[in-house]
Amino acid sequence: MASTLSVSTPTVNQASRRSLTPLQVPQRLLLGPGPSNADPTVVAAMNQQPIGHLDPAYLGLMNEVQDLLRYAWQTQNPLTYPVPGTGSAAMEATLANMVEPGDVVLVAVKGYFGHRLVDMAGRYGGDVRTIHKAWGQAFDLAELRAALETHRPQVLAIVHAETSTGVRQPLEGLGALCREFDCLLIVDTVTSLGGVPIFLDDWQVDLAYSCSQKGLSCPPGISPFTLGERAIAKLQNRRTPVANWYLDASLLQKYWGSDRTYHHTAPVNMTYALREALRLLAEEGLEARWQRHQQNAERLWDGLEALGLNCHVDREFRLPTLTTVRVPAGVDPKAVSRTLLNEYDIEIGGGLGELAGQVWRIGLMGANSHPENVDRLLETLAQVLAQK
């Protein structure tokens, strides 16, 4: 007699009732190191139905995004496009495409994200060398020249706007210096694009990257990336293939170039959002936008001083997009941040790395850089500190 095979039916796990309720997101004023609040026009654009990533309408949208990015960065680089992913993906794209095993890569470290550049460059086989500056200071050209003379790198990487410290690194003259030493210049503009003057072509920057969620006031997930002629030449003359297939610019240029050859499924709705964020920037105009950020930052700095609080960075090198504020003695920085968030719906950031527990990081970026937001934060911070 044949045996009967017993087959048990798996039990279907039930979703919790809580997960079945409609999404509810708290309304916050995001005045930390990022993200910033997205402009309502940008959010509305992202909520449109997706179309195909090879649809003629989408290909036309890609052209617009590229042109607007060139304007925002003040560059004519043909190979300028957004990378699918956050700013760290665009950071990795620069190193993946430029660094081959054995290449000497010099990283000018003056904060948390300089260390991230070191880590990434090493993972691609670079012979990584570093120079260091105290967290809160900037390099001068003489220091950078001395380092180039010592290390003779193929690549120099430096952060324009160091998010961990609030330092704006002067870049005038550095591109010419790198050309003197036949060295490519990579610049991190994650916290400066859209809020701080940038002139990639005039400054002779070879590669740059940024993000969508800070000065552009777009949700995170799509990140600007650009290569100049010298960088493209190195890419074309590599001895080894780019180790990261997804970020390989020699493949992506066939999609973002005139061929429009399929490479990956593009994040269509994020492209909608980025296009609208860049359109708003262009309508305001770069000079007006830069001036707005500077004026609101100075309003913040003066207000903090009136409260008896000190900024960590000398005014000459402060970012108008992000300010580091010294935590007064005897004050618990996390308790202040929690109170601002939980009781007043205002987010500010804490310190990273060497500055952990020592500073707050206050962002005034893109759509959030307005006088009423400065005044609201200062008034609220005064109340909270008075209770501590």
Q: Return the DSSP state at 78.
A: S
The CATH-assigned architecture of domain 40-283 is: 3-Layer(aba) Sandwich (3.40)
Angle at 217 between CA 216 and CA 220, to 5 degrees: 95
Amino acid at 160: H
Give the pair of three-digit tokens for residue 245: 């297939």
How many other C-beta atoms lie within 10 A of the C-beta of residue 146?
Answer: 11
Considering the domain 29-36+286-387 in this protein, what is its CATH number? 3.90.1150.10
Q: What are the residue boundaries of the structural domains of the chain, listed by start?
A: 29-36+286-387, 40-283
**pTM of structure:** 0.94
Q: Is 353 helix (H, G, I), strand (E, B) or coil?
A: helix
What is the rounded CA–CA span in Å between residue 291 and residue 289?
Answer: 5
CA distance 141 to 146: 9
Parallel, antiparallel, or unpaired: how do β-strands 359-363 and 322-326 relate? Answer: antiparallel
The type of residue at 228 is G
Sequence letter at residue 146: A
The answer to whether 323 touches 365, Cβ cutoff 8 Å, is no
C-beta separation of 236 from 281 below 8 A: no
Residue identified by tokens 């609040």 is 37
Quote the tokens at residue 308.
């008896």
Per-residue pLDDT of the chain (388 residues; tens, 9 = 90+): 455 555 566 676 666 666 678 889 999 999 999 999 999 999 999 999 999 999 999 999 999 999 999 999 999 999 999 999 999 999 999 999 999 999 999 999 999 999 999 999 999 999 999 999 999 999 999 999 999 999 999 999 999 999 999 999 999 999 999 999 999 999 999 999 999 999 999 999 999 999 999 999 999 999 999 999 999 999 999 999 999 999 999 999 999 988 889 999 999 999 999 999 999 999 999 999 999 999 999 999 999 999 999 999 999 999 999 999 999 999 999 999 999 999 999 999 999 999 999 999 999 999 999 999 999 999 999 999 998 7
As a whole number of angstroms, the distance between CA 250 and CA 260 comes to 13
